[in-house]
Structure 1
């Protein structure tokens, strides 16, 4: 789990700062962002009045187990029970709530079993009962119940194809919802007439609760036609059963979103924007001017690396849009498109962004960067991300590493591993998407 942020640097940064001080400062900003989204910090203050009847807890996502533990700590006098599913190695001890683990980012048989267990947990409830749903990013693959007529293997293939297609997280989850037996509000329907209070840690641009974990307790405002448009847009070869299901749903004259209790609620307890604000505050404490470029940036990771490198250079050369010392902060979820025929190496959105950024900076002095996934896992690797320094490329050349070849082969993890600049946090037990930090220092 990511350590709480500490302060190892205090003086306003300048050209006298050592490389070790700069690295520590980058890590402090990243850790501050992650810590701001810790369930133990943010859940208790958002909880509703305690229920008259039963309280059943369900949930899915990388942070859901930590959220369940935080709930038990906040409500020690409430009899709690239920089922929560999280990613492998993300479980934490709980007293009453059952924690299951499943596969991410591609579902497995445990994902389907977890979905069925969660549906069973909300059976037979009354209007006096309360269902607390703990939802965070990653829930789409962890809570995988194929729609009628589909198999799990077909769902897994669709998931893999979506991950490699270049589709945004919003587009991917639109398709997932319409091929699911539990998402798109269907879990809330299963709990009816009990009231469902959903608590969400957002990892998606725009913080739309219908997109996060594909919205198992949230009404869906998209249609099967939207899903079919996405399938056509990315030329996805859907299995016949999946295509038939979407066409059948699209032909219906009535909406598919299920009826749910009128008192249902959704509360956003942590978001990418709030995480960026925490990093910005740490920068201010050190006398560095923060500029938040946005919490919902999307697009190709490598292209974004070039763009943000250009902005950082403008800051250094012209003091525009902000004067150095400054830090450029951004969040959101970029994509890495794997084209047909390509055999990718090891890497994720953040390390690909950073390697492209390093190439664009080409050894520019005074500009450093850290980018990482707030859950501690960039793609499927064991690193959250990496750090770029002014000598990232020169150190690689000394080891006969061609950064362009590594980038072309989507093997950015391997490059940063070779030069010793991966950022390893382990599972942080939260997830507010990617945190990108570019630090621009004045140089003599």
Structure 2
């Protein structure tokens, strides 16, 4: 504990790091205030009563967690940063199949700037379309309650406000990344998720009849978090030998480095894809209240603690882990880059054999990662079966816990780099964070 306290004191000794952290916290406050500013023309009291009756479950509840409660509260940041995430995923997927985007990826910094600009334009287009649906749902939703006070021009004003809000949140994320600490977009999502954690813990404590059981739940939660940290940091290192080359009077190369292959190269995206698809049947079923088949189908996909739901969710997460890894990690590109730089894997010929070797390693390493990710995805179902309340069970695994762990690790690595650069000890003097190993 003394070493941890010393690390926190060192943070405040570094003026640049202190300013970055305070700047980031200030933008967090602005973001959280926007979540409580209701859209013009919406009766906030009636809306809260409707949300209390619906319980915030299903797809809307899932989206609400990512924006810190602004979605169900009809805040000006109701769509949050999610349209930007959607646009970024689309651009990333197109970069794997569209030649134009593949060319931009090879152009270095200039290509990244162009792709960022295209992502911003696509974000505005996606936000405009989503805000139209959001406004229509508020005005003509099947709640049976008049949520909108002044329906005149409500859709137009809502589209303008929500689009402006998303663009502003996107700007906040970019400011955090450039002038603050950590990845701004990821941190804004994390702050929205953390906003639900205190209430979930307090409600679980109030509902628990035994204090020992509550402490046991906290202990299990800590162990699960530690396991996710371990797998998130897990890598398979492939040795790469670089040949010696003489440039002038200096000799370069001749050293052995390592190509890191992550156990969980796909990150949290497979669970997000799988969970989004799992919510589609129940959402579609809501539009067919007179169809017994659709209602039964919707009920089956709404029972997130059921065995059938968990099995399908596990298999979809397993599939999307391999799918997303295949899209984002390109063994052929790794092999070509290694060949251009004069590197080779000992015992493997450069070129096609190197690409096949990396692909085989990636396939084998992804198998335990995909199984673990699928298990993490269905952990909330096990927690609910064990008696944990649904609100707190969502933090036992799934999207929320993975995002919290990975974003926290990324932010700590950046803080660690600032401290080590100024000859201070980081958070973990004997730890194995990738930033310190590097």
TM category, shorter: under 0.3
More helix by share: 2
TM-score by length of 1: 0.27
